[in-house]
Amino acid sequence: MNIGDAAKQSGLPAKTIRYYEDISLVVPARGENGYRVYGPDDVHKLRFVQRARGLGFSVEDCRALLSLYEDENRASADVKAIAQERLAEIADKIAELKAFQKTLKHLVDHCHGDQRPNCPIIDGLAGPDH
Amino acid sequence: MNIGDAAKQSGLPAKTIRYYEDISLVVPARGENGYRVYGPDDVHKLRFVQRARGLGFSVEDCRALLSLYEDENRASADVKAIAQERLAEIADKIAELKAFQKTLKHLVDHCHGDQRPNCPIIDGLAGPDH
DNA sequence: CTTGACCTTCCAGCGACTGGAACCCTTATG
DNA sequence: CATAAGGGTTCCAGTCGCTGGAAGGTCAAG
């Protein structure tokens, strides 16, 4: 199948699929005419990557996960380790965002939001000693 | 003051400060020798940007906030609007991450994490029909 | 034969820096 | 006075994960 169909089947834009070949993530065969030819296995891999990216795994994580996906003798512990690392990153990011949220919400709540210049948000950003 | 001191005072790396000049965010004067010269106002602005970036505002948001910071006749409503947009983005991002977290945690909880190849995480990423 | 949809390659750009090379300026010390 | 250290300057390239666009090749239908 050509790249357009692979795109439909995998849910990835053709551009992205070409990019994945560029970085040797999913490398298809080539037809006589130079067109990329995707077999069922390639499409499975693309879908796999699509889902993993959708869960926020980095492309490098996807590369590692793909090679485990393909490895009949993988240890599930290796997969779990990657996923747990990602979970930790997610938790960190959520904590960071919640801290932003708290600070910002506090500032917003104290701002009148009218036509006057006085603004606790600006004051907060300018710093404690202003 | 030179860029190194401005860096210390603002908490920003010198490279970043040069970059901010490049994009016309905070543009210092120049001395005879071609060195950047930062006055107190410049340092205030740099610190302002440092804090705003620290709360996750984009550089373009910072540009808008800076111009309001400098505008004696600003309406606090304008500041509040920017902050509220950012709050909405933060909330969206948190929701997205929590969704990732939920799915991933579910998969991780069901994975033995041993030396055997069977792995619900891989299966989950491969898709429902595999 | 032409149209249009597909495919190809390559180059550039996003955001927000960051690293490095190659070079200039200033200050302290032998 | 020479020199070395520790500033400063510019410009170019790379990060990550695509995405857009230009210029052209291929293919199936009318």
Count of C-beta atoms within a 10 Å radius of residue B76: 20
Contact between A79 and A68 under an 8 Å Cβ cutoff? The reply is: yes
Q: pLDDT value at position A69?
A: 97
Residue A77 at interface with chain B, using a CB cutoff of 8 Å = yes
Contact between B38 and A84 under an 8 Å Cβ cutoff? The reply is: no
Residues of chain A with pLDDT under 50: none
Q: pLDDT value at position A7?
A: 97
pLDDT of B60 > 70? The answer is yes
Burial of B69 (0-12, 13-18, 19+ CB in 10 A): buried
Distance CA A122, CA B66 (A): 9
Q: pLDDT value at position A129?
A: 67
Name the residue facing A75 among B76, B81, B114 (closest C-beta).
B114
Distance CA A57, CA A55 (A): 6
Q: pLDDT value at position A23?
A: 95
Q: pLDDT value at position B104?
A: 96
Mean pLDDT for the stretch of residues B17-34: 96
Q: Using the CB atom, is residue B19 less than 7 Å from strand C? A: yes
B102 found inside a domain = no
pLDDT of B129 > 80? The answer is no
Structural domain tally of chain A? 1
Distance CA B77, CA B99 (A): 33
Q: pLDDT value at position A13?
A: 97
Distance CA B64, CA B25 (A): 10
CATH code, A63: 1.10.1660.10
Q: pLDDT value at position A130?
A: 62
Structure-block tokens of residue A48: 């796999």
Q: pLDDT value at position A71?
A: 97
Residue B27 at interface with chain A, using a CB cutoff of 8 Å = no
Q: pLDDT value at position A127?
A: 83
Domain residue limits at A38: 3-126
B84 found inside a domain = no
B54 found inside a domain = yes
pLDDT of B45 > 90? The answer is yes
Contact B79 A111 (CB under 8 A): yes
Residue A29 at interface with chain B, using a CB cutoff of 8 Å = no
B93 found inside a domain = no
B103 found inside a domain = no
pLDDT digits (tens, 9 = 90+) for B88-98: 999 999 999 99
Mean pLDDT for the stretch of residues B23-31: 96
Q: pLDDT value at position B128?
A: 76
